[in-house]
Amino acid sequence: MNNKSTEVSHVRSYQDLEVWQKAMTLAKESYQATKSFPSEERFGLVNQMRRAAVSIPSNLAEGHTRTGANEFRRFISIAMGSVAELETQVTLSHELEYLNVKNKSDLLKQLAIVGKMLRGLYKALGAKS
């Protein structure tokens, strides 16, 4: 991430964060990918995946509105946990043949990008503390 600590200090809204924007795209694509899951998974895997996907940008938004870098870092850490959770669910969905190889690959690629950005932001905020 290019000079992310400087960028963070100039961000007015969480919506300006590139990682939040990418996480929103990931959440939308997770919703799309789970539309074709079997109806019996509606309250199981579909619900879990959607909640994990929405948790990522939501925690960025909530953390950004808190006071202080340490609090923001705590919410970034929660978002990183949701990335790992969704990675696991995507993999399981593929193994259960609910997701095809392309959907699995696309979602995992986006999760890797978002995860890397979250780790970078977390480190950048730590350097300011």
Question: Token pair of 101, please?
Answer: 């190889």
Task: Report the C-alpha gap between 30 and 74 in whole angstroms.
Answer: 24
What pLDDT, on a 0 to 100 scale, did the predictor assign at position 5? 43
pTM: 0.89
pLDDT tens column, 17-28: 999 999 999 999
Long-range contacts, stretch 71-79, CB < 8 angstroms, 24+ apart: 72/125, 73/122, 73/125, 73/126, 73/129, 76/118, 76/121, 76/122, 76/125, 77/122, 79/23, 79/55, 79/118
Categorize the per-residue pLDDT at 48 as very low, low, confident or very high, splitting at 50, 70 and 90: very high
Residue 66 pLDDT > 70: yes
- What pLDDT score was predicted for residue 12? 80
pLDDT exceeds cutoff 60 at 79: yes
Condensed to tens digits (0 to 9), the pLDDT of residues 97-118 reads 999 999 999 999 999 999 999 9
pLDDT of residue 11: 65
Q: Which CATH architecture has domain 4-128?
A: Up-down Bundle (1.20)
